[in-house]
Amino acid sequence: MNSKLKEKNWNVSLEKEISEMWENESLYDFSMEDKREIFTIDTPPPYPSGRPWHAGAAAHYSQIDMIARTARMMNYNVLFPIGIDRNGLPVEIYTEKKFKISMISTPREKFIGLCKIALDDLEVEMIATMKKMGLSGLFKQYYRTDSEDYRALTQTTFIELWEKGLIYQAMRPNNYCYKCRTTIADAEIYYMELPSKLVFIKFKLTNEKGHLLIATTRPELLSSCQVILVNPEDERFKDVINQEVEIPIFGNIVKVKSHPSAKMEFGSGAVMICSYGDYTDVLLFRELKLQEKISIDTTGRMTENANKYKGLKIKEARDRIIEDLKGLNLINKIEEINHRTPICERSKTPIEIIPMEEFYLKQIDFKQSLLEQAKKLKFHPEEHRRRLLDWIEAIAIDWPISRRRYNATEIPVWYCNACRTPNLPKPGKYYRPWIESPPFKKCKECNGEEFSGEERTFDTWMDSSISPLFISKYNRDDSFYNKTYPIQLRPQSKDIIRTWLHYTILRCIQLTDKSPFTHAWIMGYGVDEKGERMSKSKGNVIDPIPILEKNGADTFRLWSASEVNLGSDFRISEKKINGMGKFLTKLWNISKFISMFPIVKSTPLDTDKWILDELSKVVKESLNGYNDFNFFIPANKVREFIWNVFAPNYMEMVKQRAYGIDVDENSKLAAWSTLHICLKTSLLLLAPIMPFITDKIWREMYSKESIHKQIFPHAKWNFGYIQHTQNIINFNSKVWNEKRNKGISLKDPISINIPEELNLFKNDLIAMHKIN
Ligand SMILES: [Zn+2]
């Protein structure tokens, strides 16, 4: 008998052929003609920024592809877009490094051109990697977030929200990163405990001899100090409340006031309030109506207010002021402490608080409806809902959406030179006000005819947060939009819950009054073998490309599905990935064997009934996993079934029957039929996880139509035979062990009693073990 599978072994190079076949067949195209229910996935557009793609990201994207394939096998018409995120800072930084230039000193148009060149190269690589991973997305029509279409939509939504009164301009102290030279939102900040010096400085009391001791980690802000606060309950300072002190070095006089925000246990208990050390200072300046005095500029250097320290960098000014205070004998002591410091997520620089005029999108007013949507959304896994709720509850300011960068969507505004009124163009087109004349003649306010174009751009989350609207063709194709929006599922990683997930819900409810999606599918981090997060600086980043080249995508994907239990962090180990290859070899060998036998229909015998029951159990469990988009369950269940139950036990028990040795015709046909049912069903259950090998086997054995056009099997059998599984496995192991102990081959005959409870399977067991 001949095997239908031509190749002797499964090998990685077959994946390339299969992938080309899929492309030639347009297997994963999306068509509106297909009348089945649409399932849309809001694929996160990956960001090409020059690093090798992290193996954790590759695992993430291969799982998103499993979602698409799962939905197809659930009989949906699946819209699985592929996009590339090309806006924003990381590419600017990459471009500066690659071409050895600085953005600030390069003409804007030239800089943007260089960003595009850098992006194009990176994008080609990224698309190739996604294809290599077996992604079944719409590569033909992949989108870019810096395309005219995309940017026009971002600008259109800005104009719509401006007209709804949800956007305003305000001069406010805000988070500022002087490395990135731009205002940033709270959502782009994280906190780190950094070693810092807590300096105890003597402030001279003006109307008596003596000093007030004040502790600070920011002595460079002395020139910005406008008040000293002590806690009203702090007995130590009862006598100095409402007195005045002289600021060391600078000589100006400020008052001591009592305020509950002063922490008695911190430093000396007396604290200087400066514009601005942190966000508490901002609130206190407002509450106490203090005049702000800014000592740090947008380049991270000291301003005129810092007198002789003007022009120094923050750190230099801090060191110099400490030295000068020492010289004046005004330092009581210096403690080394760890200080909770806000850090810019992108540049890893401590942020400053600097007042700047920015555009703000209202979000505080929407907290209630955001909370309602967050409660309605179906989270996979549930535990990540808390992260979103906590973030929404913590929102204290509206979202500053303007940035001072180049490689991003322009804010579509022209200012009237006569009256400064912002004039907005009509929505629907892409505008570049920094280089284009306005598409109108007169100022709507004063009929003025001279305008200056806005030079700022949007926070790139303004683009990313409308991805569900872009892929459903909001404002571009009403019939498409009505059929696809709200979409079904947003897959994303947990570190961007407070940015991408939050901002998307905010923007979409503002624009459409509807939550953008039904399911939020959240993935954890890929960490190294020791459980540490991967980073370039630690040197523990694993590049997925050599792994994919060596092991193939199916092995990598099977590893990813077997390792990542929905939503939790997962360890990436090359050894483990390599090990998964064994299962593909096994699956290929089993299929080769089964493919020798014709596909027939027949009535099952008892051994067949038993394995069909086991198979039904695997089907049921796997579908439970798939329904929750948790691939950990089917990957492990099907693998265990094949490795531990089907191949070593069932297949061995029916081999003699299948070969037709000493059996009647029906027994032979029953074996053939059951072997095929088990293999076919297992292939279908594995297809979303290992799309290459399953399709190859499927087409060579079962049908010319791809396995990826099939739907999931259902659990059909229930003969009540599951109870026998453990006994069968135990008995077979016992016989193998005895043969081994006796030093005879597994093919040699043996005398052994078959326990009564296995009577149903007696004939197959005798044939399998050659029992006398
Ligand atoms: Zn005007």
Over the stretch 225-246, which tens digit does the pLDDT of each residue have? 999 999 999 999 998 999 999 9
The rounded Å distance from CA 452 to ligand 1 centre is 11
Q: What's the token pair of residue 613? A: 């029951």
Q: 50 and 94 in contact (C-beta within 8 Å)?
A: yes
In whole angstroms, what is the distance from residue 739 CA to residue 761 CA? 20
Render pLDDT for 525-568 as a digit per residue (tens, 0 to 9).
888 888 888 777 777 888 889 999 999 999 999 999 999 888 88
CA–centroid distance, residue 423 to ligand 1 (Å)? 8
Neighbours of ion ligand 1 (CB under 5 A): 416, 418-419, 421, 443, 445-446, 448
- How close is the Cα of 449 to the center of ligand 1, in Å? 8
CA of 672 to the centre of ligand 1 (A): 85
Question: How many CA atoms, within 13 angstroms, populate the side-chain half-sphere of residue 64?
Answer: 31
pLDDT digits (tens, 9 = 90+) for 180-237: 888 888 888 888 999 999 999 999 999 877 899 999 999 999 999 999 999 999 999 9
Distance 408 CA to ligand 1 centre (A): 27
| pLDDT in the model for residue 186 | 84
Residue range 156-178: mean pLDDT, rounded:
94
Question: Which of 157-171, 529-543, 741-755 is predicted least confidently?
Answer: 529-543
pLDDT one-digit tens code per residue, 48-95: 876 667 889 999 999 999 999 999 999 999 999 999 999 988 888 889
Q: From ligand 1's centre to the CA of 444, what distance in Å?
A: 7
* Cα-to-centroid distance, 394 and ligand 1 (Å): 39
- Judged against a pLDDT cut of 90, whether residue 644 lies above it is answered with yes
pLDDT at 740 over 90: yes
Q: How far is the CA of 445 from the centre of ligand 1 (A)?
A: 5
Report how far ligand 1's centroid is from the alpha carbon of 419 (Å). 4
- Report which of 631, 690, 482, 372 is spatially closest to residue 40, judged by C-alpha positions: 482
Mean pLDDT of all residues in the chain?
94
- Sorting pLDDT into bands at 50, 70 and 90, what band is 178? confident
Q: Is the pLDDT of residue 380 over 90?
A: yes
Token code pair at residue 548: 């994919």
| Distance from Cα 505 to the centre of ligand 1, integer Å | 35
pLDDT at 52 (0 to 100): 63
- Give the three-state DSSP class for 169: strand
Distance from the CA of 440 to the center of ligand 1, in angstroms?
12
Instruction: Assign 259 a pLDDT band (cuts: 50, 70, 90).
Output: very high
Average pLDDT of span 614-632: 97
Instruction: Report the sign of the C-alpha dihedral through residues 702, 706, 710, 715, in that order.
Output: positive
Asked if 194 contacts 350 with a C-beta cutoff of 8 angstroms, the reply is yes
User: Ligand 1 centroid vs 447 CA: distance in angstroms?
Assistant: 6
φ, ψ dihedrals at 173, nearest 5°: -65, 135
454 C-alpha vs ligand 1 centroid, how far in Å? 15
For residue 82, report the distance from its CA to the centre of ligand 1, in Å. 43
Q: What is the pLDDT of residue 750?
A: 95
Concatenated DSSP letters for 353-410?
A: EEEEEEEEE--GGGHHHHHHHHHHSEEESGGGHHHHHHHHHH--S-EE-EE--SSSPB
441-452 pLDDT tens trace? 999 999 999 999
Q: Does pLDDT of 605 surpass 90?
A: yes
Give the distance (Å) from ligand 1 centre to CA of residue 421.
Answer: 5
CA of 448 to the centre of ligand 1 (A): 5
